């Protein structure tokens, strides 16, 4: 109304291939698509109700992020299988980059962040109580990345996102074998305490411990499952 020039260059409309990317990514993170199974462009297209074209874009991106695999022999798509070696490398990488992000975010922690984290942690606990695996995975992911985003480290944040995407399928396997209540979220409280006083090293330690415990459980599950 009163706007002299309603500068609205748009570019708002989210591209279809981005929506497709998010959909597949979510399915991968929550483990809805099991490791080892094959997928195809047209089947995904039919399932999501779009043409194969945006699927192609999204899949290309996911392959680059190693969240999907492409068989070099017949060029067919599949979700990467779980191996002990892969898990070990992913664990080590996460254990380096995520605590670093937490430490960098600590100085920028404010009341709004704490509040948001508390809500997400409550959602985590709620999902654990209900045994809702998908909800737990989503809430846990959102908790970590709401924190990491405050680090203002775009490159490291992208690395963490890629690692989480790759390790998502492992998590589902853990839940399938040991049950969701095998994981405790106490470290989240520890992290929030550190953030309240902007204690970077405390946040680093808390997140490192949180990851370490989770990864240990995954490793045990993978070793037991072979």
* 68 makes contact with a copy of itself (CB under 8 A): no
Nearer to DNA, 63 or 122 (CB): 63
Handedness of CA 58, 59, 65, 67 (dihedral sign): positive
Report the alpha-carbon distance of residue 35 to residue 168 in Å, rounded: 10
Helix (H) / strand (E) element for 45: namely helix 41-48
Q: Shortest Cβ distance from residue 53 to DNA (Å)?
A: 4
Report in angstroms how near the CB of residue 74 gets to DNA at its nearest.
4
* Residue 79: CB minimum distance to DNA, A: 12
Burial class from Cβ neighbours inside 10 Å (0-12, 13-18, 19+) for residue 23 reads middle
Distance in angstroms (rounded) separating the CA atoms of residues 91 and 101: 15
CA distance 215 to 226: 17
Task: Tell me whether residue 81 or residue 89 sits nearer to DNA (CB atom).
Answer: 81
Exactly one of 57, 125, 190, 193 binds a copy of itself (CB under 8 A); that residue is 57
Reported for 71-75, long-range contacts at CB under 8 A and 24+ positions apart, including other chains, are: none
Residues that bind DNA (CB under 7 A): 9-11, 15-17, 39-43, 50-54, 56-57, 70, 73-77
CA–chain centroid gap for 205, Å, is 20
Q: Tell me which of DNA, a copy of itself, none is bound by residue 90, counting a contact when its beta carbon lies within the kind-specific cut-off of 5 to 8 angstroms.
A: a copy of itself
Residue among 4, 75, 112, 224 that touches a copy of itself (CB under 8 A): 75
CA 162 to chain centre: 8
| Binding partner at 70 among DNA, a copy of itself, none, C-beta below 5 to 8 Å by kind | DNA
Residue numbers at the binding site for a copy of itself (CB under 8 A): 9, 11, 15, 56-57, 60-66, 72-75, 85-86, 89-90, 92-93, 96-97, 100, 152-156, 158-159, 166
């Amino acid at each position: 109304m009163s706007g002299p020039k309603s500068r609205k260059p748009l570019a708002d409309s989210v591209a279809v291939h981005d929506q497709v990317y998010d959909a597949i990514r979510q399915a991968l993170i929550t483990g809805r698509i099991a490791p080892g199974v094959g997928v195809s462009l047209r089947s995904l297209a039919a399932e999501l109700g779009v043409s194969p074209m945006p699927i192609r874009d999204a899949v290309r991106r996911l392959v680059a992020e190693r969240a999907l695999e492409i068989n070099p022999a017949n060029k067919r798509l599949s979700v990467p299988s779980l191996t002990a070696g892969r898990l070990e490398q992913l664990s080590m990488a996460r254990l380096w980059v995520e605590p670093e992000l937490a430490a960098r975010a600590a100085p920028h922690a404010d009341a709004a962040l704490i509040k948001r984290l508390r809500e997400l942690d409550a959602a985590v606990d709620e999902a654990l109580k209900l045994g809702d695996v998908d909800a737990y995975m989503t809430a846990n992911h959102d908790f970590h990345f709401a924190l990491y985003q405050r680090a203002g480290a775009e490159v490291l944040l992208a690395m963490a996102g890629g690692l989480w995407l790759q390790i998502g399928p492992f998590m589902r396997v853990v839940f399938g074998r040991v049950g969701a209540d095998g994981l405790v979220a106490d470290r989240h409280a520890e992290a929030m305490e550190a953030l309240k006083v902007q204690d970077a090293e405390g946040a680093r330690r808390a997140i490192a411990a949180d990851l370490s415990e989770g990864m240990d459980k995954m490793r045990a599950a993978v070793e037991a499952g072979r």
